[in-house]
Structure 1
């Protein structure tokens, strides 16, 4: 559990700097340069994420079960993670209605992903991992919306083409991950019985 907690502290801590120390972040970028900041951020994020994945894998070998989720929760998790992938795609596809409406669809996608996994999994490691990401996403969404209001940021109107592209790209990415990559990377096949 220690490795998982260290990984979460590094990964989510880095992704919280803008929320809690925006002035310091800007000073570091000004002092070191944006490329240097991005490189350091990316390397440390990769280390944190690697520790999260490793720590979660270790914790799953001796699970501490807190509750047994009903079997139907897998389907709820599948639906919520589908929404999460669509929202993730919407963060990058230009001029879609999801980004125009919610402004920060990636953070909403993290919320949907975390809630879905909390519904379907009931170990202490699951609660720690997905609960931490859910708490971070709630706080990040509030902070990002506040920052937008203060800066007077407006978002481009969505188009049917942009929205359709976000939905298709997200759905295809979700299917590839859910039916193939999740098993290969995480060791769990979400839609197979006994997984």
Structure 2
């Protein structure tokens, strides 16, 4: 029974992420509460499931896989900087290729922003976050937790691509080609509000460092 909560939390996480996004169910929910309402509810449910899963991993029996070392906390501390930037550049921006986009009809493939570099910036951020946190958490429960998220982020991109190809149809290939052609290292092409989103990334990064001891009982600083 020691692992029961951990297994239950894993089950709830995958059910909460897979069932609501099934097309018939999603369409019914959107009919009742609208697209923005669905995004809000789905986001809150996802965060609640993730929070429970992390808490359950902390409560699970400790089985060491590798010893802790003083250099390990630097890995997530460094990696979380680009993660926060990717999230800040991706959230509430048009992205017809993935989930979490806003006003997707307004997507301009000649100015794709972060989407020019990856169709699934939020899944990339999730994968980087999880991979970085594997390093300083060398016990079985956390290895399964973060390792599963790495796999989820990789496989999820293929699954979302498959779904979006069906929804968009033949235009998907054309739109994707235009997206890649429009990518640029010129930050001005990320949009007129790039500076604001960069500032959001900085505050997000610092905020996560500040709140980490409160939420998880351990400081991310070495």
TM-score norm. by structure 1 comes to 0.76
Aligned partner of 1:175 in structure 2 is: 206
Kindly report the root-mean-square deviation, in angstroms, between the aligned alpha carbons of the 2 structures: 3.1
CA-CA distance at 1:43 after TM superposition: 6.6
Look up the SS of the partner of 1:72 in the other structure.
Answer: coil
Q: Does 1:107 align with 2:123?
A: yes
CA-CA distance at 1:170 after TM superposition: 1.6
Aligned partner of 1:185 in structure 2 is: 215
Aligned partner of 1:159 in structure 2 is: 190
Residues 24-49 of structure 1: CA deviation (Å, up to 9, x unaligned): 4346437x634598387467545533
> C-alpha separation between the residues in 1 aligned to 2:123 and 2:44?
21
Give ranges in structure 1 of 5+ residues lacking alignment.
none
Map 1:29-44 → 2, pairs under 5 A: 29=29, 33-35=32-34, 38=38, 41=42, 44=45
Aligned partner of 1:85 in structure 2 is: 84
Q: Does 1:15 align with 2:17?
A: yes
Aligned partner of 2:148 in structure 1 is: 132
User: How many corresponding residue pairs?
Assistant: 186
CA-CA distance at 1:87 after TM superposition: 1.5
> C-alpha separation between the residues in 2 aligned to 1:58 and 1:184?
16
> C-alpha separation between the residues in 2 aligned to 1:160 and 1:40?
28
Look up the SS of the partner of 2:73 in the other structure.
Answer: helix
CA, structure 1 residues 143+163, in 2 after alignment: closer, same or farther (shift >3 Å)? farther
> C-alpha separation between the residues in 1 aligned to 2:59 and 2:135?
21
> C-alpha separation between the residues in 2 aligned to 1:165 and 1:96?
17
> C-alpha separation between the residues in 1 aligned to 2:213 and 2:140?
21
Residues 105-139 of structure 1: CA deviation (Å, up to 9, x unaligned): 11111000000001221111111211121121111
* 4+ residue runs over 6 A deviation: none
Aligned partner of 1:63 in structure 2 is: 62
Give ranges in structure 2 of 5+ residues lacking alignment.
94-110, 184-188
Residues 57-111 of structure 1: CA deviation (Å, up to 9, x unaligned): 312xx52111125432321221222222211112225477213321321111100
Look up the SS of the partner of 1:33 in the other structure.
Answer: helix
Aligned partner of 2:25 in structure 1 is: 25
Determine if contact 1:3/1:55 at 8 Å carries over to the other structure: yes
